[in-house]
Each structure stands twice: as C-alpha cells, then as structure tokens.
C-alpha cells in the first residue's frame, strides 16, 4: 500500500483536473472567437474591432475573478478559539458531558452564538478549535473555514469569507462572457448552418462555440441567481439547507442585516470597487469582537449577532 502522503499528493493533483478542463475550454474559446470568428470570418472591420474590444473586457474580468477565487486561501479561526493546553488535556480525558462543560467555560469570553442541533458548543475535534459562528470544517481542504459556503471543485478551493465576493464575480463575468459570445456568434452560426458562408475550417469552431457558450450560460445563470439570493439574505449554501442554531433555537435569518447591509457585507462599502475582483473588506479581525460585544450586550441574540457581524467586517 502506498504511503499516506503519496495518496494525499495524488489526491491533490487529481483535484486540479476540473480547473485544467475549464482553462482548456476557455483557451479554446479565445482562439475560436478571436482567430476563427473575428479574423477569418467577420469581413467588416468596424464590427470586428468592436467585438474584440468588448470580448477582451469580459475575458480579462472573467479570468481575473476566476484566478482570484482559486488563489485566495481560506481563512481559518484565530488562536483565540483554540483551547489552552491545560483545557485541551483535560478535554481529551473527560466524558462527553464533562467535555461540554469545559467548552462552555472556554467559550464564555468568546463571541460565539451558534450551537449544534442539540445545543452544544460547536467544536472541531480535528482542528481542535471552538468553531466561530458560520465556520465549518472542510474535509477536502482539511481545515476549518470561516463563513464557509461550499467547496467548489471547479476552482479547487473552499468558497468562504476570503473569496466569496470573487466567486460571485466569477459567476457574473463567466455568464456575461458566455452570453456575449453566444449573441455575437449567432448570426454567423446561422449563416454557416444554412450554407450562406463557404465551408471553411472556421465552420466547426463557430458552430461548436455557439453551443458551448449557450450551454454554459444556461447552467451558470441558475447558479448565479441562487447566489445573488443568498447574498441578499446573508446566508451561505450550508445555512440555506440547514438553519443556524442559536442559543434560543434555529433562526434562518439570524445573520441578516437587511438587504443593503447584506450586500455590503460581501462586496464592501465602496461601491466603485464592487465590480472588480479586489479585496474591499477590512478583514476578519477577531480582536474587534469584544468591543462589539460590549456595545451590543443589551440586545437580543439575533440583533446582537447581526450588528457584531456588521462591525466585524467593517
């Protein structure tokens, strides 16, 4: 049997196959559109230049947001959420009921509102940390990820706090990229299909390009619409399927700050940067939680969580 580290290395290598596939498709689409359509097929220079200008704008934004999603490392909980050495040793020796008492004492000074379905403090035995709100362990990334939405094989990365904006922009620009290609190729697709243009090597590329662009647009449209809905509700994919449980019970709207603030939480408070895949949030500073706790300790749980989430991000 191969050593464990060799199997892990093979698994990590295979995980890049979907990313390589996407890049090969995009690379071919660039060649098919720029060379086969614009250079060899379109006779009108004005039309050719205008198509190339808009195409490259969408192409650059698509590639930029895609690789930002891939390259942004997931953020894990800070050391503040780790048990002290004495507490950890005691935790490992005790029975489940006594372990919960240890976790409850350790969580007293932490801004942790969510619980498990049974009302227990959320703790990751693998990472050995008390889970912050909206944090989940990703078995693929082998780490706890803050505000985890899901693990996406197409970017070979966890989508969460560090790159959710980039992921939404990646969906938006990939959809615009596909719909622009399909719309501009359509007339030449019809001409090739009805034999109004000579049967050249560009015919296959143009016909196939339209089908691929239309197919990807339809599939991405539903996913993009779903994530826009999640942004408006301030929910993750995990929370959409299973409502977070707070101290006073489940609440599917427990993290909602209202539509406008929900959008700001993902895209930042400077609207001029919303459409660019650049980091526009102040970051996840857990040192600011205690300040927020002092400000909001008179509020209800849901209001408290909402305001603290807002102040944490901004």
Q: Known catalytic residues?
A: 152
Block residue for tokens 């399909």: 182
**Closest residue by Cα to residue 74 from 261, 284, 240:** 284
CA–chain centroid gap for 171, Å, is 10
Bridge partners (DSSP) of residue 143 are 138
For the beta carbon of residue 247, count every other beta carbon within 10 angstroms. 11
- CA distances (Å), 154 to each of 2, 62, 65, 94, in order? 27, 14, 13, 42
Token couple for 301? 């749980």
Contacts of 83 (CB under 8 A, 6+ apart): 91, 102, 106, 128, 129, 130
């Amino acid at each position: 049997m191969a050593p464990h580290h060799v199997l892990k290395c093979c698994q990590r290598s295979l995980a890049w196959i979907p990313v390589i596939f996407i890049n090969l498709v995009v690379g071919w689409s660039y060649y098919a559109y720029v060379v086969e359509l614009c250079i060899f097929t379109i006779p009108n220079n004005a039309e050719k230049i205008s198509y190339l200008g808009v195409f490259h704008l969408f192409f650059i934004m698509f590639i930029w947001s895609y690789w930002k999603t891939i390259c942004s490392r997931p953020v894990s909980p800070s050391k503040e959420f780790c048990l002290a050495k004495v507490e950890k040793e005691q935790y490992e020796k005790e029975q489940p009921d006594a372990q919960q008492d240890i976790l409850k004492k350790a969580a007293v000074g932490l801004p942790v509102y969510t619980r498990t379905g049974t009302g227990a403090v959320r703790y990751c035995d693998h990472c050995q940390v008390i889970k912050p709100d909206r944090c989940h362990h990703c078995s693929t990334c082998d780490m706890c990820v803050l505000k985890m939405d899901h693990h996406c094989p197409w970017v070979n990365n966890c989508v969460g706090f560090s790159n959710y904006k980039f992921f939404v922009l990646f969906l938006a620009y990939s959809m615009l990229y596909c719909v622009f290609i399909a719309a501009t190729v359509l007339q030449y697709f019809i001409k090739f299909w009805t034999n109004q243009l000579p049967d050249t090597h560009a015919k296959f590329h143009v016909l196939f390009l339209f089908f691929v662009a239309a197919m990807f647009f339809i599939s991405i449209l539903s996913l993009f619409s779903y994530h826009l809905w999640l942004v408006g509700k301030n929910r993750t994919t995990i929370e959409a399927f299973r409502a977070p449980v707070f101290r006073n019970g489940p609440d599917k709207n427990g993290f909602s700050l209202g539509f406008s603030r929900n959008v700001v939480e993902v895209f930042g408070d400077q609207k001029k940067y919303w459409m660019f895949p650049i980091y526009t949030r102040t970051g996840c500073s857990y040192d600011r939680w205690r300040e927020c706790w002092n400000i909001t300790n008179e509020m209800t749980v849901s209001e408290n969580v909402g305001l603290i989430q807002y102040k944490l991000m901004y």
